Amino acid sequence: MISLTINGQKILTEHNKTILEAAEAAGISVPTFCNDKRLIPHGACRICLVEVEGVKNLPASCTTPVAEGMVIRTHSERVVQARREILSLLLSNHPLDCLTCEKSGKCKLQDYCYEYDVKEDIYGGEKYNFPIDASNPFYQYDPNKCIVCEKCVRVCNELQCTGAIGLNERGFLTHMGTPFEMGMKHTNCVSCGNCVSACPVGALLPKNKEKYRLWQVATVKTTCAYCGVGCQLELHVKEDRVVAIQPGEGSPNDGLLCVKGKFGYSFIHHNDRLKTPLVRKNGELREASWKEAYELIVEKMQQTKATYGADAFAGLTSARCTNEENYLFQKLFRAVIGTNNVDHCARL
Ligand code: SF4
Ligand code: SF4
Ligand code: SF4
Ligand code: FES
């Protein structure tokens, strides 16, 4: 352990921490765009810079290791002024689109501009003028809103391990893009949407997003029902409708999802979805109560078993059920019905 001082507060921390980690552990909030505790520290955006006594420049706190006796200020006048300058430079090349931007309300650029009182483009220089890439079926990319934090690229490389995107061009024209600007659809992107979940601004957005603002939705934690991994989800629910999905943090998925968990939720409110059992009477399907449906199933199964024996049955269960449901299903077939004809769709 080493000791240092942050904003006048004496802090004990492990020697292998960064200044940002030590500050956060002490409850001191430092703004970040490119930092993500799952990724290798990168130091791209500089918004997390701090003042360290005896150091000439303002180092990025997310890449600077702590050292014994450091005296750090996270919100001194000099630091705040530097952050305002960084935000002004970002705004000078950003569409001031917050009124209608889908990210409004959960955008770090918007939040920090509010916090640091940066309102407008004071430089009036050239701006990006890139075409929007809507070629991926699930999400779209507006390079004009990209702040080049490179989080999406690192998530795709380091966590998703696909490497579909990178930084194109250099200098003013640097932006996240696809090889040879071929468009997302033509890369090896698997549409997991993990870059979309990580983007701190509105450059990467889901296409199927229904209109909502963050303060209009309740967040409901749940477990993805698509497979047995048990990824944690945060559903955004507006007036009883799921309007978006964010990956949950921590075990087992650590903020990541696959394409199904991230984007495949329109079935929840789909008109074709069955909400009550249907029973066929005289060749026509009609709605029935659960009691009526179960009684009919039991009756037909008893008749079939009496006529043809237990091996006339076969049960096929689903990877979308929980382990416990699958256990009960095979128990039902083996112990109650009396057949070993039971299998699982995952063996396809
Ligand atoms: S990305 Fe953020 S700052 Fe940019 S227009 Fe959208 S809400 Fe505003
Ligand atoms: S959707 Fe997934 S695979 Fe495609 S670019 Fe984003 S992180 Fe990479
Ligand atoms: S698209 Fe988003 S996450 Fe990727 S570099 Fe641009 S701002 Fe950062
Ligand atoms: S958060 Fe530290 S440089 Fe971006």
Domain ranges in the chain are 2-91, 132-207, 214-273, 278-347
Tell me the mean pLDDT in the region 284-310.
96
User: With a 6 A CB cut-off, is 149 part of the ligand 1 pocket?
Assistant: no
- Angstrom distance (rounded) from CA 82 to CA 90: 12
Q: Can you tell me the distance from the alpha carbon of 64 to that of 76, in angstroms, rounded to the nearest whole number?
A: 18
Mean pLDDT across the stretch 117-125? 88
d(CA 267, CA 82): 48
Q: Ligand 2, from 141, 162, 168: best to mutate by most atoms within 8 Å of Cβ?
A: 162
Atom of ligand 4 nearest to the CA of 31: 1
- Other residues' Cβ atoms within 10 Å of the Cβ of residue 317: 19
Which one of the ligands is nearest to 100 CA?
Answer: 1
Q: Which CATH class is domain 2-91?
A: alpha beta
Q: Give the number of the ligand closest to the Cα of residue 105.
A: 1
Share of the chain above pLDDT 90, in %: 91
pLDDT of residue 135: 97
Lowest mean pLDDT among 95-99, 147-151, 227-231, 332-336: 227-231
Give the residue, by CA position, lying nearest to ligand 4 atom 3. 43
- Ligand 3 centroid distance, CA of 149 (Å): 5
Phi, psi of 345 (to 5 degrees): -65, -20
What CATH topology corresponds to 132-207? Alpha-Beta Plaits (3.30.70)
Domain 132-207 in the same topology as domain 2-91: no
pLDDT the model gives residue 280: 94
Residue-wise pLDDT for 144-195, tens only, equals 999 999 999 999 999 999 999 999 999 999 999 999 999 999 999 999 999 9
Query: What average pLDDT does range 53-73 have in this prediction?
Result: 97
pLDDT for res 261: 96
**Cβ 61 vs Cβ 20: under 8 Å:** yes
Nearest residue (CA) to ligand 2, atom 2: 192
Ligand 1 site, residue 236, Cβ cutoff 6 A: no
Say yes or no: CB of residue 168 within 6 Å of ligand 1: no
Residue 148 pLDDT: 97
The pTM of this model reads 0.89
What is Dmax (Cα atoms) for the chain?
A: 90
- DSSP category for residue 156: I
Name the pLDDT band for 343 (thresholds 50, 70, 90). very high
Locate the ligand 4 atom nearest the alpha carbon of residue 149 and give its number. Answer: 4
Which ligand 3 atom is at minimum distance from the Cα of 33? 8
Return the ligand 4 atom nearest residue 49 CA: 2
Q: Choose among 339, 344, 335: nearest CA to 314.
A: 339
- DSSP letter string, 39-74: S-----S-TTB-EETT-SS--BTTTPBP-TT-EEES
pLDDT above 80: residue 347? no
Fold of 278-347: Rossmann fold (3.40.50)
- pLDDT bucket at 121, cuts 50 / 70 / 90: confident
To the nearest whole number, what is the mean pLDDT of the chain? 95
Residue-level pLDDT at 348:
58
| Ligand 2 neighbours (beta carbon < 6 A) | 155-156, 160, 162, 164-165, 189-195
Q: Please tell me the number of the ligand nearest to residue 150's CA.
A: 3
- Digit-coded pLDDT (tens) for 211-236: 899 999 999 999 998 887 889 999 99
Residue 124 pLDDT: 85
Q: What is the mean pLDDT of residues 322-339?
A: 94
CATH for the stretch 214-273: 2.20.25.90
* Block residue for tokens 């128990």: 331
Type of residue numbered 268: I
